Amino acid sequence: MAVGQGVVTTLKPIKGVRIGVASAGIKQVVRPDVVLFEMVEQAAVAGVFTLNAFCAAPVHVAKEHLAKSSADHASQRYLLINTGNANAGTGEQGMLDANLCCDEAAKRLNVSASSVMPFSTGVIGEILPSAKIVNVLDDAIANFQEDNWLQAAAGIMTTDTRVKGHSVSFDYNNETVSITGISKGSGMIKPNMATMLGFVATDAKIAAPLLQQLLTQASDKSFNRISVDGDTSTNDSCMLIATAQSNVEISEDDQALLALFKSQLDELMLDIALQIVRDGEGATKLVKIQCDKAASVQEALDVAYTVAHSPLVKTALFASDANWGRILAAVGRSGVKDLIVDDLQIYLNDVCIVQQGARAQSYTEEQGAAVMAQQEITIRIVLNRGDVNDSVWTTDLSHEYISINADYRS
Amino acid sequence: MAVGQGVVTTLKPIKGVRIGVASAGIKQVVRPDVVLFEMVEQAAVAGVFTLNAFCAAPVHVAKEHLAKSSADHASQRYLLINTGNANAGTGEQGMLDANLCCDEAAKRLNVSASSVMPFSTGVIGEILPSAKIVNVLDDAIANFQEDNWLQAAAGIMTTDTRVKGHSVSFDYNNETVSITGISKGSGMIKPNMATMLGFVATDAKIAAPLLQQLLTQASDKSFNRISVDGDTSTNDSCMLIATAQSNVEISEDDQALLALFKSQLDELMLDIALQIVRDGEGATKLVKIQCDKAASVQEALDVAYTVAHSPLVKTALFASDANWGRILAAVGRSGVKDLIVDDLQIYLNDVCIVQQGARAQSYTEEQGAAVMAQQEITIRIVLNRGDVNDSVWTTDLSHEYISINADYRS
C-alpha cells in the first residue's frame, strides 16, 4: 500500500556524476543491490548522519572518509551503497567489512580508500556478505553512466514499494542549474539528522562549508520532520554533491541566487522526504501534523510528534474516523508546561473540531468524515502560546504495517 | 486476546466498604455500568490522578471533593463510577454533568455533594448521559453489600476482556489485615500517576497523609510502570481506602508493621496493574523491560520506555521473532547521553543476545526462539553506567490491536 499515485518515471542526470548499478545477490532474489556513485574531481560533498548511538559501521567509515578526503583534496570520490544488509550491530567485524569494500573499490578505481564512502541498508545484525559486493564492483564500474538515477533509486530500495526521486532546475544568467535526488525508506523512519538514505547532486559550484550548511538546513525542514513509526534507524545518511559542472557558483556573495538555490533544494528534499512517508509501511494516508502559535520550536515538535506517534490517533486515521478525542488526549500528554486547554483549537484541514476544551459547537460528524475520506490530511493544533509554527508528516497505522513487520527480519 | 489464564473468581470483602451496582444503559448493550462505593465514617481515602492536561471533568471534581470532604471530616463518603462514557473533552457541560451526578447521589444518601467523588471511563468527547445515571442511583443504593467486588470489577470494564482484581491478607497480633483492589484498562494505557481506574481498600486504620504517601509510592512501582500503547488517558485515577474496621493501625510508630503492609500493598497494586497489561488490547505477550545499571531512574525509564513503545520491537514480539537488532536500534535512539555501545549487554530472559555492539558470540537463534515461544518474556538491558535498576511492563503489537482501535470510537 502507498498513498497517492506519484510514481517517478524520469530523473534528470547531473553533469559530473556517473552511476553504476550491479546485482550482487545479497538477498535471495537477484535484483540490483549495489550502487556506485562517481563524482568529478571538482565536486564538493556534504553529509548528515543518524544520531542513533548504535550507528552502523558504514556510518562511522563514511564520516571518517568524508572528512579525510575533503582535507586531502581528493580527486574523484565515490559513494558505494548496498541494500539487503545494514552492516549494523556487527561490531568489529562490521568495521572490517566496511573498510574492505572501500579498499577493494579504491584499488579498482585507482584512488585511496578514503575516497570511497560506504552506505548500507537492510537487515540489522547480520554479517555483511562483503565478498559478494566485491565480486560485482567491476560490473558496477563497467555500468557507469550519467543517466542511471532511476536505476540507482531502484537499487537502494528495501521494503520500499516505489522508487523515490525528484529533479528540479532553474535558469540563471542563461545557464541552467539542476538538482536531482533519490531516497529510500519505508519503515524504521524517524530520521534524526537525515533519512534512511538520500543522495542528492547538483551541477552548481558550491564550496564544501556552504554545501554542508545548505544540506543541514534542508534536512531539518524535510527528513528531520517525518516519521512513520518513530523508530530512528542505525543507518540514516544523506549526501549532497555539488559537481561544479555548470557555470553557476552559489555563494554568500550573491544572496538572491543563494536564496533561489536554497528554495529549490528545500523543495526537492521535502519532496523526496514525503515520498518516503507516502510509501510508509502499510500507509493509506499522508498526514501533516501542524502545530501553530507555539512558544518554541521544541514545544511545537513535542506536540506534533506526540500526535504523530500516538497508536490511537494512527489507528483512527486508518479507520477514517475523525476521533478528535484521541488527538486531544495526545496533545494533553505531550508535556507542554501549564497548557490551558480552553485556549487551544484543533482543526482537520479547515474544519475546527475542538475549541474551549470540547468539540467545537459548529462541528458535525459529516464535516469530519469528509476530511477523513481524503488520502492527504492536515491536523492543525493551534496552541495560542507564542508565534512559532512547525510541522511534521506521518502515516496511519494499518494491518499491513503489522504484517510487514511481523514477517520481515529487518 | 489476553496473556495467560489468571481469571479472577473471588475477591475478599473489606469490612467498612459496601458496593452497589446498577445498569443504566449508557451503552446500547444493557450491562452493569454504574458502581457506587460506600465507605464507613471512620475511613480515610487517598487518590492519585492523571497528569494529562486534558483531564476529564470527573477528575477535576473528584480531586476537589476529596480535598473538601477530607478537610470537613465528612461522615460516609462515596465513589460514583460509570463506564461507557468518559465525560472528557466535554468542556463546561462536562463539569455540570459531573456535579449533577454527585448532587443527586448526595441528596439520596443524605450527605453533602462533596462527599461523593465521581469517576468516568469510556468514549471521549460525548456528552455524559447524566439522566440515565441519576435514574439508577436508587437501584445502586438498594444493591449495597460488602461482597460485591467482582460485580464492581465487571461494572467498570470498557474494552477489557477480563475482570481485574486481587486480594491479599496477613495476620498481625491475632488480627487479620486484608486488602482488596480492582482495576480496569486495556488500551490508552500509559498511566501517569495512576491507571485508567483502580479502587483499592483495606480494613486497616491508616491516617490520610500516610495513606496518600503509601498510594503514591505503590502507584509509582505499579501503575506508573506499565504501558500498552504509550497513550496516557484523560481519566486515570486510583483511590485507596482505609476503613479502620480491623484493630490494626498502620503508622510510622511501628516500622516493621508499616513495611509489612507496604509490601502487601505493593504486591497487590503490581498484580492488578499487570492484569491490565495482560489484557492489553490485542496482547499475546506480557513483556518486562528491565534496564539495569543505569546512571539514574530517568535514564533507566527512558531506555525501557523507548524499547517498550517501539512499534518494530512490539511487532517482532508479536511474531515471536528474537529480532535483537530492533531492540538495539531502540536503545540507541533512547537519548542516553554519551552511550558507549560496546559497554552494554542485552538479554532475553537469561540468554545474552548482544554484547560489544554486536550479537553475542554464544548466542544462537534456537536460544532466542525458545524464549520468544513463551507468553511472558523479560528483555533486560544492562547499561553498565551506574547502579540504578528499573523496569516497565508492556505488550506486543498485534493485528487485533489495530482491529480494536480502528473499529472502536473511544
Across residues B96-107, what is the average pLDDT? Answer: 98
Residue with cell 563514511: A62
pLDDT digits (tens, 9 = 90+) for B348-382: 999 999 998 889 999 999 999 999 999 999 999 99
Across residues A73-83, what is the average pLDDT? Answer: 94
Strand ranges for B210-311 from DSSP E: 237-242, 249-250, 286-294
pLDDT value for A225: 82
Burial of B275 (0-12, 13-18, 19+ CB in 10 A): buried
Across residues A5-16, what is the average pLDDT? Answer: 87
Within an 8 Å CB–CB cutoff, is residue B298 touching chain A?
no
Reported ipTM? 0.81
User: Which segment of A298-307, A372-381, B4-13, B255-264 scores lowest on mean pLDDT?
Assistant: B4-13
Q: Which pLDDT band holds residue A192 (cuts at 50, 70, 90)?
A: low
Contact B230 A341 (CB under 8 A): no
Cα torsion angle, A219, A220, A225, A228, sign? positive
Higher pLDDT, A74 or A196: A74
Within an 8 Å CB–CB cutoff, is residue B312 touching chain A?
yes
Across residues B311-336, what is the average pLDDT? Answer: 90
pLDDT value for A253: 95
pLDDT digits (tens, 9 = 90+) for B146-156: 999 999 999 99
pLDDT digits (tens, 9 = 90+) for A229-253: 777 778 888 899 999 999 999 999 9
Whole-number Cα distances in Å, A262 to A244, A246, A297 = 16, 17, 21
Q: Please, what's the largest Cα pairwise distance for chain A?
A: 71
Q: Please, what's the largest Cα pairwise distance for chain B?
A: 71
CA atoms within 13 Å, Cβ hemisphere of A41: 2
| In contact, B56 and B120? CB cutoff 8 Å | yes
Statement: residue A67 has pLDDT above 50: yes
Q: Which pLDDT band holds residue B116 (cuts at 50, 70, 90)?
A: very high
Q: Which pLDDT band holds residue B158 (cuts at 50, 70, 90)?
A: confident
To 10 degrees, what angle do helices A311-318 and A297-309 make? 60
C-alpha distance from A144 to closest chain B C-alpha (Å): 34
CB proximity list for A5: less than 8 A, separation 6 or greater: none
pLDDT value for B134: 98
Statement: residue B257 has pLDDT above 60: yes
pTM comes to 0.83
| Strand A237-242 with A358-359, pairing | unpaired
Higher pLDDT, B48 or B230: B48
Contact B325 A192 (CB under 8 A): no
- What is the count of residue pairs from A and B with beta carbons less than 8 Å apart? 204
Q: Which pLDDT band holds residue B195 (cuts at 50, 70, 90)?
A: low
Whole-number Cα distances in Å, A183 to A15, A159, A180, B240 = 19, 13, 11, 55
pLDDT value for A6: 65
pLDDT value for A160: 87
Within an 8 Å CB–CB cutoff, is residue B187 touching chain A?
yes
pLDDT value for B1: 66
Statement: residue A193 has pLDDT above 60: no
Selecting from B123, B329, B354 the residue whose C-beta is nearest the C-beta of A231 gives B329
Within an 8 Å CB–CB cutoff, is residue B148 touching chain A?
no
Residue B89: closest C-alpha in chain A: A358
Catalytic positions of B, please? 195
Distance CA A272, CA B307 (A): 29
Rounded mean pLDDT of chain A? 91
pLDDT value for B187: 76
Q: Across the strands, what pairs with B199?
A: B182, B239
Distance CA A92, CA A82 (A): 19
Residue with cell 497487590: B268
Residue with cell 514545544: A299
Q: Which residues of B touch A190 (CB under 8 A)?
A: 333
pLDDT value for B193: 43
pLDDT digits (tens, 9 = 90+) for A277-308: 898 888 999 999 999 999 999 999 999 999 99
CB proximity list for B154: less than 8 A, separation 6 or greater: B21, B31, B32, B163
pLDDT digits (tens, 9 = 90+) for B283-302: 999 999 999 999 999 999 99
Rounded mean pLDDT of chain B? 91
pLDDT value for A410: 45
Within an 8 Å CB–CB cutoff, is residue A386 touching chain B?
no
Containing H/E element for B63? helix B57-71
Contact B54 A332 (CB under 8 A): yes
Instruction: Write the single-letter amino acid at B408.
Output: Y
Cα torsion angle, B304, B406, A282, A331, sign? negative
User: Which segment of A41-55, A145-159, A198-212, B239-253 scores lowest on mean pLDDT?
Assistant: A41-55
Q: Which residues of B touch A51 (CB under 8 A)?
A: 333
**Ordered DSSP codes for B116-185:** EEEEEEEESSSPP-HHHHHHTHHHHHHT-BTT-HHHHHHHT-SS-SS-EEEEEEEEETTEEEEEEEEEE-
Please state, as a whole number, how many other Cβ atoms lie within 10 Å of the Cβ of residue B323.
25
Within an 8 Å CB–CB cutoff, is residue B161 touching chain A?
no
Q: Across the strands, what pairs with A78?
A: A38, A116
Distance CA A291, CA A225 (A): 12
Burial of A110 (0-12, 13-18, 19+ CB in 10 A): exposed
Q: What percent of chain B clears pLDDT 70, i.e. is strictly above it?
A: 97
Within an 8 Å CB–CB cutoff, is residue A324 touching chain B?
yes
Across residues B219-244, what is the average pLDDT? Answer: 85
Cα torsion angle, B280, B281, B285, B289, sign? negative
Statement: residue B408 has pLDDT above 70: no
Q: Which residues of B touch A90 (CB under 8 A)?
A: 358
pLDDT value for B17: 96
Distance CA A230, CA A208 (A): 31
Distance CA A13, CA B254 (A): 82
pLDDT value for A189: 73
pLDDT digits (tens, 9 = 90+) for A91-144: 899 999 999 999 999 999 999 999 999 999 988 888 999 999 999 999 999 999
Contact A53 B326 (CB under 8 A): no
pLDDT value for A282: 87
Question: Which of A1, A52, A126 has the most B C-beta neighbours within 10 Å, making it the best mutation to test the interface with B?
Answer: A52
Across residues A171-200, what is the average pLDDT? Answer: 82
Residue A400: closest C-alpha in chain B: B399
Contact B311 A231 (CB under 8 A): yes
Across residues A348-376, what is the average pLDDT? Answer: 93
Contact B92 A359 (CB under 8 A): no
pLDDT value for A195: 54
Cα–Cα–Cα angle for A204, A207, A212, rounded to 5 degrees: 100
Burial of B29 (0-12, 13-18, 19+ CB in 10 A): exposed
Please state, as a whole number, how many other Cβ atoms lie within 10 Å of the Cβ of residue A252.
9
Statement: residue B71 has pLDDT above 80: yes
| In contact, A57 and A95? CB cutoff 8 Å | yes
pLDDT digits (tens, 9 = 90+) for A129-164: 999 999 999 999 999 999 999 999 999 998 888 999
